[in-house]
Structure 1
Amino acid sequence: MLSRRKLLQGIAASTGAAFGAPLATERVLASPIGNATPKRIVFFMQNQGFDPATCIPAGMKNSGSLAKANLPEPISALEPYKERLHIINGLHGLHTSPSHSAFFGALGGYRGSDGVPPSASTIDYELSKALPETSLPHLCIGMDSIENMKTKPTIATLSASGAGQPIFMHSNPNHLYQMLYGGISSGDIRKQHEARSSVFSQVEMLAAMKGRTLPASEQQRYGQYVQGFKDVNGLRTRLDTVADHLRKFAPAVDERYTKPEFETDWHDCLLDLGISALTSGITNTLTIGSGRGEIFGAWKGLGIEQQGHNLGHMAQPDNPIWVKIRQYNSRMLVRIMEKLESVPEGNGSMMDNTLIVYTSNNADKQHTNGANWPVMLLGNLDGAFKSGCFTQLDGKRPINALYTSLLRAAGQNVDSFNMDEKAAKKFDEGTGPLKEVLV
C-alpha cells in the first residue's frame, strides 16, 4: 500500500516537471502571438513492440502512395483516414538498447533501461516548450491492468524534462479528473477537490519552511519537491479562473470511473480526459503510454485473458490477440481525430493543426535490438508533414532524426536531437531532419 508521504511525493514530482504558463480564457486564444497557427502533438506509445507487418499493406515493399492500398486488419479502423496517414518503416534505435523497453530512451533517443533515470529530456517535453503556451504544457496518461493503475496511480517511465527529471503519467482517471476539473464539479468530487487543495496548500507552506533549515547541499533537491506543490496549487488557481470555459469540455463522470468492470473502462476514461485537455486548450502535448512503458499491460475488456510479459512473446502478425489490441488502439486514434476534427480552428479544424505519433517504446518486438522502429503519423501539423503515403527507409537513420523533424515543424531550427557528434558518427549516416517525411 502506498504511504501518504509516497503519494504526495509522486504528485509533487509529476506536476513539478510538467506545469507551466497561464491558460487563455478561450480555447482559440491558447495560441501563439500574432497570426501563427496553434499546433499540438500526441504521442501514443504501445508496449511490447510494433511489428511492421501489422501496419504495412500487403505487397508494399517500396515507398509510395496509400491511396490504392488496403490497410492490414490490425489498423483497418484507419482505412477512412488513409489520406492523413504516413507509415514509416526502417528507422532504428540500436543506440537505445530497447530489449524489453527503451523506457525514457524511446522518446529520448538515448540508452534506456529498467530503473535507470533519464539522461536528458524527451522529445514530447521539448515540443511542449516549443508549442503555444498552455496551463499544462505536457500531460502524460498511462494505461495498464486495473490492479497496477490502482496501486501505482502515477508512474514515470517514458517522459522526462531533463537528466534525472522524470515526468509522471496519470493512471487513475478519478485523480486526473479532480486535478483538471475538480474546481467546476459538484458533490463528492468538489468536496474531495477542496480537501486536497487545502492539504496541498498547507504542505507547500510547511515544506517551504522546512527547506530553509536544510543544509545547502540538500536545499536544491528539496526545492524541486516544494516546487511541485507550488505548481499543483498554481494549476488549480489558473484553471479556476477559466471555470466557465472548462465546463464546455469536461467529460461526464459515470460508473466507469468509480466501478470499472475492466481496465479498458479506465483506459477509455483516461483517453476522454486526454482529449478534453487538448480540445479545451489545457495542454498542447499529450503522451499516452499503453502498457506504461513497461512489460506489463492488460486488455481483459477486449476478451483477452493473457496479460503482461507473455504478450510480448507472442508473434503479432495474424495473432488474434494482437489484432484485437492493435484494433483497439486504432479506434482510440480515430476517437482523437474525430473529436479534434469536430472543433473549428482557423479555416479548418483542430485536427488540421495536429500530429499524432504512434509507435512502441521497444521498436518492432519484445527482446529486440532496435534495428527497425516502425512509426505511424496521423495528421500533418498544418501542412508540415507528408501524408497518405508509406515510406521505406534503409535502416541507417535513428529515431532521433524523426524527433529532429518534429522540432523543425514546431519552429525550432535544430539539426539534431540528443545525439552528439560522436554518437552520430556511429549511429546516423545522414544529417538533419528526415527529408522523406517533411513537406
Structure 2
Amino acid sequence: RLLFVIEGNGCPPNQVHPTNLNLTPIGKRLQTVEESFQAKDLPKALKPVSDYANRMLILQGISGRICGGGHSTYFGALGCFNTREGKHVLGPTLDYELGRHNETLFKNISLGISQRSHLDIVFNSSAAGANNPIGTICNPQTAYQRMFSPIGDRKNLAVKTHLLDYVKEDIKSVKRRLGSVEKDKLDRYLSAYEEIGQRHSAIADLDPEFKNRIDPITEKYRSSNPVDRLECHFELATSALVTGLTNVATIASGVGHQDFSIVFDKLGVGLEKHSIGHALYNKEPVAVEASEKIREFHFELIARTLKKLASIPEGDGTMLENTLVVYLSDAANEHHTKCDEWPYVILGGNPRVKLGGRCLTYADFENKGHRTVNAIHNTLLHSFGHPVNDFGFKIPGLDHGVQEGPLSEIFI
C-alpha cells in the first residue's frame, strides 16, 4: 500500500532536515552523502512523526527539472513531465500506474483541498494517461458517499443501479444519432458508468464488518474549512487503505496555482499560502512560523494514519510494515520553483525499501551520484513488483543512468 501526500507551495529543504545534520547548500554537494538521525533530531515540522523516526527516510538533492517549475508542477510531480502550468497532461502519474496493477475496487483514490472550496472536484495532480486527468475529490461528503455508502446496503444499491441503468440506456440512444468521433466519446462515458455500477455492486457485497475499520462520518464532513476537510480526507484515505478498497491513495493539499492559496485559519495562521511562499524568500519570521505550523499539521495527520496502520495486525506484523507514506510538494523546494532540488520524506514500511532513520543528500546536478525524480518513481514501482526503469519523461542530453532504474541506496 502507498499513500502520497502532496502539499502545495513548495517545501524548503531545511524544514524537513534533521537538526543534527548540516544541510549542504545546493551547488556545493560534490557527492552523495548518507547520514543517520534519531527522533530527538527531527525539525519542528516532523516532530509529530517522532515515534516513527526509525521508519523514516529523508531525501535531499533529487532534481526534477524535467517537470518545469513555477508555482506548481501539477500532474508533473507524480508524472515526471512538464505540464506548462497545468495545461498539458502528457502521461500517467505514478499513483495511477501503481494502482492499475491492483485487483482492488478502486485502482487509486485522489482526495484533496483547494482554495476553490465551492468545487467538489478539481483536476490537478493525478492522471490515467495523456490528456486523461483524474479528478481530485475536495468535498469529504462526496468522497465518503462514493467510497463507503454502498457497503452492506443492497436496498440503496438497487436505487442507484436503476438510475445508472437509465443513464446507460440514454447514452446508447443518443449514440445512434451521432458520428464516429462523438460515439467514441460516449463509449468512454458508457464504460465509466458501467464501471461505477460494477464497483457499487462489489462494495455492497463487502462484509459489513469492514465498517468497523472505517472512521465514522461526523459533522466536520459538512465543513468547508480546509483544516476540517484535510483531516477528513486523511481519515477517508486511511479507511480505504485498511479496508482494502484500494492500495494506492493520493492526498493533494492545495496542489496547483488555482488551488494552493489556502488560509489555515483554524491553525492560527492568518496568511494565505501564496503570501507565505513569497515571504519565505526573505525568511520573514511570521512566514517561517506559519509555513512550519502548516507542514507540522500535515505530519500530525500522517502520524494518525501511521498509528492506525500499526494497530491492525497483518501476517506476522501490522499493516504499517506494508504501507509507505510519501510526502512531497508539487512545487519542489520553493514558491517559484525551478525543481533544482526536491525534498521527500518517506515513512512506514515496505520489504523492498530501506528506511531506517536515514537522510540521503544527493550530489548536485551533473555531479557523479546525482539522480532525478524519475529514479524515485522507478524505485517505488520496483518495490511494488513492477520493474520499470524509465517511468516519465527524460531530460535530453542527460545521462540516462541518472534518470533510470531504482535508487540503489533505497531499493533492497
TM-score by length of 1: 0.83
For the 8 Å contact 1:398–1:428, the answer to whether it is kept is no
Q: 1: distance between equivalents of 2:401 and 2:335?
A: 23
Q: Distance in 2 between matches of 1:323 and 1:397?
A: 27
C-alpha distance in 2, partners of 1:293/1:348? 38
In structure 1, runs of 5+ residues without a counterpart are 1-39
Distance 1:58 1:168 in 2: 38
Residue among 389, 395, 399 paired with 2:358: 389
Alignment of 1:236 onto 2:200: yes
Q: Evaluate the alpha carbon distance shift between residue 261 and residue 403 of structure 1 in structure 2; reply closer, same or farther with a 3 A threshold.
A: closer
| Structure 2 CA distance for partners of 1:194 and 1:53, relative to 1, 3 Å | farther
> Which residue in 2 is equivalent to 1:322?
291
2:149 to 176, 182, 192: 182
Report the alpha carbon displacement of residue 414 of structure 1 after superposing the two structures with TM.
Answer: 2.2
Alignment match, 2:133 = 166
Cα shift readout 1:337-393 (whole Å, capped 9, x = no counterpart): 011111111111111011111000110011111100010110231243333100010
- Are the aligned partners of 1:357 and 1:378 in contact in 2 as well (CA < 8 Å)? yes
Range that drifts further, 52-61 or 334-343: 52-61
1:435 pairs with one of 403, 408, 412: 408
Which deviates further from its counterpart, 274-283 or 223-232?
223-232
Percentage of identical aligned residues? 27
- For residues 44-59 of structure 1, what are the structure 2 equivalents within 5 Å? 44-59=5-20
- Structure 2 residue aligned with 1:303: 268
Which position in structure 2 is the counterpart of 1:288?
251
Match of 1:403 among 377, 380, 387: 377
More displaced 10-residue stretch of structure 1: 424-433 or 383-392: 424-433
> Residues of 2 paired with 1:101 and 1:44: CA distance?
15
Structure 1 distance, partners of 2:36, 2:124, is 36
Which moves more between the two structures, 168-177 or 374-383? 374-383
Tell me the SS of whatever aligns to 1:397. Answer: coil
Amino acid of the residue matched to residue 137 of structure 1? Answer: K
Paired letter, 1:80: D
How far apart, in 1, do the equivalents of 2:403 and 2:196 lie? 43
C-alpha change, 1:69 and 1:305, in structure 2 (3 Å) is closer
Pair 1:66-2:32 in alignment: no
**2:51 match: secondary structure:** helix
Match of 1:135 among 91, 101, 105: 105
Contact 1:48 1:360 (C-alpha < 8 Å) held by counterparts: yes
Give yes or no for contact 1:46–1:293 (8 Å, CA) kept in 2.
Answer: no
* Unmatched 5+ stretches in structure 2: 23-32, 365-369
Deviations 1:90-133 (A, max 9, x none): 10111111211001111001112334131010111111123x42
Cα pair 1:354 1:382 within 8 Å, conserved: no
Distance 1:174 1:416 in 2: 38
Q: CA RMSD in A?
A: 2.3
Take 2:167 and 2:349, find their aligned partners in 1: how far apart are those partners? Answer: 44
AA matched with 2:272 = Q
SS at match of 2:398: helix
1:248 alignment partner, SS class: helix
The answer to whether residue 242 in structure 2 is matched with residue 279 in structure 1 is yes
Taking the aligned partners of 2:39 and 2:84, their CA distance within structure 1 comes to 41
In structure 1, the residue matched to 2:66 is: 95
Q: Structure 1 residues 74, 308: closer, same or farther in 2, change over 3 A? A: closer
Instruction: Give the partner amino acid of 2:269.
Output: I
Structure 1 segment 251-290 matched on structure 2, within 5 A:
251-258=215-222, 260=223, 262-290=225-253
Q: Which runs of 4+ in 1 moved over 6 A?
A: none
Report the alpha carbon displacement of residue 197 of structure 1 after superposing the two structures with TM. Answer: 5.2
| Equivalent residue letter for 2:80 | G
| TM-score (norm: length of structure 2) | 0.88
Structure 1 distance, partners of 2:331, 2:74, is 8
1:209 counterpart residue number: 173
Residue 411 of structure 1 aligns to a residue in which SS?
coil
1:107-146 alignment, distance < 5 Å: 107-130=78-101, 132-145=102-115
